[in-house]
Amino acid sequence: MSSIQTIKLVHGRDKTTTCEIFLYGATVTSWKVSGEEMLYLSPKSAMDGSKAVRGGIPICFPNFGPWKFGAQHGFARTSLDWRVHHPPQVDDETGDVKAAFLLKDTDTSRSTWNFQFHFLYTITLKENSLHLEVEVLNKGIEKLDLTFCFHTYFKVLDILECRLSNFKGLTYTDKTLSGSPLVQEKNDPLQLSDFTDRVYGNAPNSVVLSGIGGGRKIRLIKEGLADFVVWNPWDKNKLADMPEEDFKTFICVEAAQNSQRVYLDRDETWSATHILTVT
C-alpha cells in the first residue's frame, strides 16, 4: 500500500502548538500545546491503512457501536476516500490555522450503507484549543439516519489520578454489564478504577478532565451532540494493537450522538462542534 498522507497544522504564533491529521480516516493522531502531547496514540497501532488507528481522535460515522450494516463504528474511520477540501490556512492576526476534509459516498460505501452524502470535517488549531466541526449533508432522495462520535483518546500520566466533573446525577448505559442497564451516576467527580464503557445520555455541554499530569486540565465543550461516552478497557480487554499496560496512560472521553438518532431528509444538514481547551 502506498504511503498515506499526513497533514500537519502549525500555529502561527507558537510553533510548538501543532496538530497532525492522518488522511486515512481523517484521524487526528497528534495535538500538542506548547510542545506537550494531549492525545494518546498506541505504539502498536497500524498506520498502513489496514485497520482503524488505535488512539488520537477517530471518527465514528455513520454509526457509533455495533452496526447491522457493517463493521463497528461505521466506515469513516477506515476510509481511504477522505480528501483535503481546504488545505491548512493560517490567520495572520491570531495565528490560528484551519483545514477542512471531505468524505463523499462511493460505490464501496453505498454497498454497505446505500445513501448519498457529503461529510465535511473542519479542524481549527488555536493556541490552547482544538476546534472540531462536522457537517453531514444528505445528497440523496431517501431519508437517512445516523449516529456519531469523536472517539478521543486523552494522554494521561496515571488513569487512577484522572477526574471528570459534571457527571453526577446523569443516567448512563453501562455496556460492561449484561443487558447494558441504565444506571444513575452518584459520583462527583467521576474517577475510573476498572473496565469502563458508559454512554451518558443527554449530558451537559461542558465537562472538565483533570489530573492528567503537569497540573493541566482539559475542558470539553460540545454543541449539537447529546452525549458523552467514557471508556477504558482496563486489564479486562486485551487489545492486539495496544501494549497491555497502556490502559493506565489514557482515558477516552467522547462527545457523541448516540442516545438519539439523527434523521436527515433530502438536502438537509446536520452539524456539530467539539472544542477541547487546555487550561
pLDDT in tens, 99-120: 999 999 999 999 999 999 999 9
Q: How far apart are CA 218 and CA 228, in angstroms?
A: 15
- Torsion angle of the four alpha carbons 205, 211, 216, 220, in this order, in degrees rounded to the nearest 10: -10
Per-residue pLDDT, 3: 83
Find the mean pLDDT for residues 210-216. Answer: 95
pTM of the model: 0.97
Q: How far apart are CA 242 and CA 45, in angstroms?
A: 7
2 pLDDT above the threshold of 80: no
The total number of residues written for the chain in this structure: 279
Other beta carbons within 10 angstroms of residue 248's beta carbon come to: 16
Find the mean pLDDT for residues 200-225. Answer: 97
54 pLDDT above the threshold of 50: yes
Per-residue pLDDT, 1: 43
64 pLDDT above the threshold of 50: yes
Q: How far apart are CA 269 and CA 279, in angstroms?
A: 33
Place of cell 505504539: 43
Burial of 269 (0-12, 13-18, 19+ CB in 10 A): exposed
Place of cell 476546534: 131
124 pLDDT above the threshold of 70: yes
pLDDT level of residue 236 (50, 70, 90 thresholds): confident
**132-152 confidence digits (pLDDT tens):** 999 999 999 999 999 999 999
Find the mean pLDDT for residues 63-81. Answer: 94
Nearest by Cα to 276 from 129, 70, 134: 129
- Provide φ and ψ at 80, rounded to 5°: -95, 5
Q: What distance, in Å, lies between the first and last C-alpha atoms of the chain? A: 40
Q: How far apart are CA 172 and CA 150, in angstroms?
A: 18
Per-residue pLDDT, 130: 98
**Given its phi and psi angles, is residue 234 left (phi above 0), alpha (psi -120 to 50 degrees) or beta?**
left
Find the mean pLDDT for residues 176-197. Answer: 96
Q: How many CA atoms lie within 13 A of 168 on its CB side?
A: 6
Question: Please, what is the average pLDDT of the chain?
Answer: 96
Which domains, ranges and CATH numbers included, belong to the chain? 6-272 (2.70.98.10)
**8-39 confidence digits (pLDDT tens):** 999 999 999 999 999 999 999 999 999 999 99
Q: How far apart are CA 136 and CA 216, in angstroms?
A: 33
Locate 12 and state its grid cell: 502561527
**153-170 confidence digits (pLDDT tens):** 999 999 999 999 999 999
